[in-house]
A and B are shown apart, each in its own frame.
Chain A
């Protein structure tokens, strides 16, 4: 699959970045200002404006080569929204997008560390480790960061899962945010993100987040996720400016239509 390239730093974009969400609603306004509305779900579009500066020769070449491979706006590609949590239904761990080990018990409504009640109590009654994961159709050759808030009154070592990579982290009696960053599995076209709970352990978790970057940003509650298949370059032209030796600037406009 064609996938928008990460920079050598493992990020997808730089600041400032802009995203425009556009829905489509048909509105008939009557003479007394009463409105009759019809939502057009398929009419929604999303656009990103990514402004790059200080790109190295290699990064600029990679971006130019990718633009050539899509032939401008002709061919579509997968774009991972750099301003979003890639996972979906992150406050609803009982949603079917999550794959949950059969011995895991999930209970919602736990007070979370940011003042809401979107935390989950998770306990493993099995004799072996059990996991909760969400698998996304994203490239294995990317750098990702998985982060989650955890709390275990008895203390526990939990394992953050990122494809075949595993990061052990200690959960204590107070909420703390743990994260794990790694490359996915080379050549893979999907990546599973999640958390593994050791046998007999129980803990509270909140705010599972996956991002296509080396470090975690603030938690973003998400229902729809940030993986956009069939995104495309909005323009057929891409202009690079050399601002110095081994330094390039370019502005990229990417669009996605729900269709």
Chain B
């Protein structure tokens, strides 16, 4: 399985960075007002938003190639959470798109959203 590419500095993210997690629960409400709650999934799924700037052409090209290799949201890869160093083995890109901008020489920017997946 492939791994999310590192920048030349060894980092995978820059500031500002954000992460979140999502549960999937169900709530049944009965006629008497009582509620029954239950988990509808095996556990939380994590998500990260990676915004990258001041990238050189090699780093931009590596990220573009990574998106091509994973075929956008289709492929899975391993991602190490830059917040705590924990490794998530079943991650995908959240969308099929990557926008790459060359602002000037050795100054490119892009952003990616990564989600932990199940299945």
Contacts and interface: CB of A to CB of B under 8 A. Distances in A.
A220 B61 CA distance: 6
B58 A223 contact: no
A15 B57 CA distance: 13
A19 B102 CA distance: 9
A16 B99 CA distance: 13
Given A218-B58, A221-B65, A23 B96 contact: yes
B97 interface: yes
B16 interface: no
Contact of B98 (A17, A20, A38, A222): A20
Contacts of B40: 31-32
A224 to B, nearest CB: 7
Contacts of B99: 18-21
Contact of B24 (A22, A23, A31, A220): A31
Interface residues of A, number: 37
A23 B118 contact: no
Nearest to B117: A35
Interface in B102-119: 102-106, 117-119
Interface stretch (B27-35, B67-75, B80-88): B67-75
B119 A36 contact: yes
Contacts of B71: 23, 25, 39, 41
Contacts of B75: 39
B3 interface: no
Contacts of B1: none
